[in-house]
Amino acid sequence: MSDSVWYFAYPEPTPPDAAALLGGTIADLVGQGIIRRDQDPEAILGEPRGPVHRPAQGAVALAGPYDSFMELLTNGAEFCGSLIFNYGPLNAGTLECRHCGVTISDQDTEAFDDQINEIGERVADADFSDGAVRCITCGVDTAVNDWAAEGGFILAGFGVGLWNWPYGTPVMDAVRDSLERNVGRPGLASDGYRI
């Protein structure tokens, strides 16, 4: 099994109280027995962007037949209190402008690379503005996250990354629900890649 990360995140600049919002989520999930109290930064790949906790026995019960994720070395819940760059939506063979509807294929290497570079520059700037990325086809300025599939994101200010947790199970719902209770509103879910 390869490593995968599912994010529940907020595609907006990092709020000043992000650490407190995530801290409330951690306390709630520890209280429910879904994550362990102790931190383990070795439970993910790369440098953590916040506290990392392994799943606890409550997660096993909620994962049902998919409980084998408990045996993996990379099975952490990463509470990211800073910028999240999710490369997943860009790791596709096409990009589509939501404004003009034109699909840019990676078969057109020059156009595809130009659009990826345009998006990448705005990600590097942490630009959440509505006009951050110019479409190379129609020339309209769009947001970075407009280039992700509906409901997904490329750039977020904070959230939770779940490494190799079984998607579509009650354990994922429990994490999402806890985060949304602590933040006070829904976020977005997206499968992703971390680079």
Segment 17-71, tens digit of pLDDT: 999 999 999 999 999 999 999 999 999 999 999 999 999 999 999 999 999 999 9
Confidence of residue 1 (pLDDT cuts 50, 70, 90): very low
pLDDT digits (tens, 9 = 90+) for 111-149: 999 999 999 999 999 999 999 999 999 999 999 999 998
**Distance in angstroms (rounded) separating the CA atoms of residues 180 and 160:** 11
- Cα 141 from Cα 91, distance rounded (Å): 22
Angle (CA) 93 119 139, round 5° = 95
- Distance CA(22)–CA(143), nearest Å, equals 26
How far the first Cα of the chain sits from its last, in Å, is: 19
